[in-house]
Amino acid sequence: MTNENSIFFRGTGTSPYIYVATKGNENKYIGSAYEANNYSDLEALSNEFNVDIDFQKSKLGYPGKFAPSGHDAGRTHWPYENLHTFLTSIYDCCKQTDSKYMIILEEDVFLLKYISIIKKHTFGIAIVPNNNTFPDRLTQFVMSVGGNIQSNGYGACGGAIINTHDFIKGYDIVMEPLKVEFDSISKYTHLVGWSDMMIQVIIMCSGGKVVVNNQLVEPWMQQKGWIDYSWKEYEIVNYLKEISLL
């Protein structure tokens, strides 16, 4: 799937991530991905290209227990260290790109059509339709750093789209006070240690606008009558566990 400025690559195997190559303002190398059968293959690549082999030192794991998927990490939420690692990885990606927007992709997110919301609106984050209640304690935190408290619930799940400039700004504002207040906030809401909440909090703390992307859906929404058409008619589907349904 292609458009004038981007190419969308679908992966293979048990984790078919989608990779997006977007044309920038200048030609530059920002990274590669390789699949190796064993460590010696990585060593050969390292020697050929004169680069070091680095490892992800932190194994983040799932934030906590999520009944619909059966995930149970044996905790209620990520500790601050895991959250910091996760948010920093997004921050680093935002710093490396000259794209205005970035989509949060997970192994069960699929792009079915061209994403229209980035042409229609200017926003800080485009979240999934939801009936979630944004916690009062996190509203207080956003207010304390001068952020935007208009939330539209919360739903920065896979398929959410972030404004890279707003994320960088919010991260720079938030991370120090969040480190100080994390344990205190977690006594009121465990969502302070969940990715689908805290990506949105970062944007809100930057003053970025939160909009709902009605073209981001999940298959269960069709079953529950949340959406008018088959989920296949929408632009982005999240939480699709049966790849054969595509």
% of the chain surpassing 70 pLDDT: 85
Q: Which amino acid is at 44?
A: A
Contact of 208 with 155, CB cutoff 8 Å = no
Q: Quick one: tokens of 199?
A: 């990506």
**What is the model's pLDDT at position 244?**
81
Decide the pairing of beta strands 210-212 and 161-163. Answer: unpaired
Rounded to an integer, what distance in angstroms lies between the CA atom of residue 126 and that of residue 200? 9
Work out the mean pLDDT of the chain and round it to a whole number. 88
Contact of 1 with 20, CB cutoff 8 Å = no
- Answer with the residue of higher pLDDT: 98 or 30: 98
Looking at the predicted structure, is the pLDDT value of residue 172 above 80?
A: yes
Across 53-62, 87-96, 176-185, 236-245, least confident range: 53-62
Looking at the predicted structure, is the pLDDT value of residue 237 above 90?
A: yes
Q: Which amino acid is at 243?
A: I
**What is the model's pLDDT at position 161?**
97
**What is the model's pLDDT at position 16?**
46
Q: Is the model's pTM score more than 0.85?
A: no
Q: Quick one: tokens of 59?
A: 């194994």
User: What SS3 string covers 127-151?
Assistant: ECCCCCCCCHHHHHHHHHCCCCCCC
Cα 33 to Cα 6, 11, 30, 36, 232: the distances in Å are 18, 11, 11, 10, 29
Question: What is the three-class DSSP state of 125?
Answer: strand
Looking at the predicted structure, is the pLDDT value of residue 13 above 80?
A: no
Average pLDDT over residues 18-37: 64
Q: Quick one: tokens of 148?
A: 């935007």
Average pLDDT over residues 183-188: 98
Q: Which amino acid is at 42?
A: L
Decide the pairing of beta strands 161-163 and 101-103. Answer: antiparallel
- Answer with the residue of higher pLDDT: 236 or 2: 236
**What is the model's pLDDT at position 72?**
82
Rounded to an integer, what distance in angstroms lies between the CA atom of residue 46 and that of residue 206? 39
% of the chain surpassing 90 pLDDT: 63
Looking at the predicted structure, is the pLDDT value of residue 223 above 60?
A: yes
- Side by side, the strands of the sheet bearing 210-212 are 101-103, 161-163, 125-127, 210-212
* Per-residue pLDDT reduced to its tens digit, 43-98: 888 888 887 877 666 678 889 887 666 678 899 999 999 999 999 999 999 998 88
Looking at the predicted structure, is the pLDDT value of residue 17 above 60?
A: no
Contact of 133 with 23, CB cutoff 8 Å = no
Rounded to an integer, what distance in angstroms lies between the CA atom of residue 195 and that of residue 214? 20
Under the banding of pLDDT at 50, 70 and 90, the label for residue 110 is very high
Looking at the predicted structure, is the pLDDT value of residue 200 above 50?
A: yes
DSSP sequence for 29-73:
--------SSHHHHHHHHHHHT------------SS-BTTTTB--
* Residue 191 DSSP one-character state: G
Most confident of the following: 107-121, 133-147, 232-246: 133-147
